[in-house]
């Protein structure tokens, strides 16, 4: 319709009318593009809001798991360090149950990096462009970088970890038992006098301690990264209390 009218105006050499018609066409195209862009932006905002809500829920749960995991790791590490210090002391002193357990668990490698399914799905399907908040992107990047630090540590130094229950069965024996919740647990028994006399064992446990200390420092970065992530998400979608860490 509009093009036939333009053609008629051109044939009649009515250039003023031609200009008006062209203006109407240009404005119409511009408005159409703006409406399309606005509609696309609205859809992206809706998708981003849904993603942030899901990510927030996952982060709250993940942080609770991290706090519980780090608490257990800290207790194991402190017991391990205390037990090894006793074995190196001049005066023999029996190990406590916790110290013996700490030694037996000195080969355990736990990164304490929970998975965020919504982020993995986003990366696989469309990349991170859906996230418009730069601070949120930085928080996710920090967690990813901290996880790589842990992977690098495990890859380069994890091979030097020694499992005392497997490599020194004459010094440490394991037994299983069923706890009050019906779950299988493992208890360790340590021969602290023979451990003190075995320099090869002491050397291996010292290497384990050094590795676990380095791992602890990197796990702190994970904890800090998830804390920053949750605080930013609290600001974006509303504050939600953290669940109590599992015992």
Asked whether residue 41 is domain-assigned, the answer is no
Taking the C-alpha atoms of residue 60 and residue 56, their distance in angstroms, rounded to an integer, is 6
Number of domains the chain is built from: 1
Asked whether residue 45 is domain-assigned, the answer is no
Asked whether residue 243 is domain-assigned, the answer is no
Most confident of 3-7, 50-54, 125-129: 50-54
Asked whether residue 157 is domain-assigned, the answer is yes
Q: How far are the Cα atoms of 60, 115, 119, 155, 216 from residue 65, in angstroms, in the given order?
A: 9, 11, 18, 24, 16
Element at 190 (helix H, strand E): strand 184-190
Asked whether residue 13 is domain-assigned, the answer is no
Residue bearing the bigger pLDDT, 24 or 129: 129
User: Within 13 Å and on the Cβ side, how many CA atoms surround 226?
Assistant: 25
Model pTM greater than 0.85? Answer: no
User: Is it the case that residue 173 has pLDDT exceeding 50?
Assistant: yes
User: Is it the case that residue 243 has pLDDT exceeding 50?
Assistant: no
Range of the domain at 112: 55-237
Q: What is the pLDDT of residue 68?
A: 84
Asked whether residue 88 is domain-assigned, the answer is yes
Asked whether residue 24 is domain-assigned, the answer is no
Residue 126: pLDDT band with limits 50, 70, 90: confident
**Residue 177 three-state SS:** strand
Task: State both tokens at 178.
Answer: 């069923």
Asked whether residue 183 is domain-assigned, the answer is yes
């Amino acid at each position: 319709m509009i093009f036939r009218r333009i053609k008629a105006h051109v044939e009649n050499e009515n250039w003023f009318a031609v200009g008006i018609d062209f203006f109407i066409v240009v404005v119409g195209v511009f408005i159409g593009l703006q409406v399309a862009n606005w509609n696309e932006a609205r859809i992206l905002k809706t998708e981003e809001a849904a993603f942030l809500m899901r990510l927030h829920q996952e982060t709250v749960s993940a942080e609770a798991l991290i706090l519980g995991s780090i608490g257990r790791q800290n207790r194991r590490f402190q017991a391990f360090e205390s037990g090894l210090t006793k074995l190196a002391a001049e005066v023999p002193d029996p190990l406590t149950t916790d110290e013996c357990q700490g030694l037996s668990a000195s080969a355990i490698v736990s990164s304490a990096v929970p998975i965020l399914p919504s982020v993995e799905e986003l990366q696989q399907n469309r990349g991170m462009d859906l996230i418009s908040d730069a601070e949120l992107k930085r928080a996710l990047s920090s967690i990813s970088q901290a996880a790589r630090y842990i992977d690098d540590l495990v890859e380069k130094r994890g091979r030097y970890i020694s499992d005392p229950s497997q490599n020194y069965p004459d010094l440490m024996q394991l037994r299983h038992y069923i706890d009050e919740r019906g779950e299988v647990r493992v208890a360790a028994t340590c021969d602290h006098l023979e451990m003190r006399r075995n320099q090869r064992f002491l050397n291996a446990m010292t290497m384990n301690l050094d590795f676990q200390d380095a791992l602890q420092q990197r796990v702190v970065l994970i904890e800090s990264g998830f804390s920053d992530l949750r605080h930013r998400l609290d600001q974006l979608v509303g504050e939600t209390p953290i669940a109590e860490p599992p015992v």
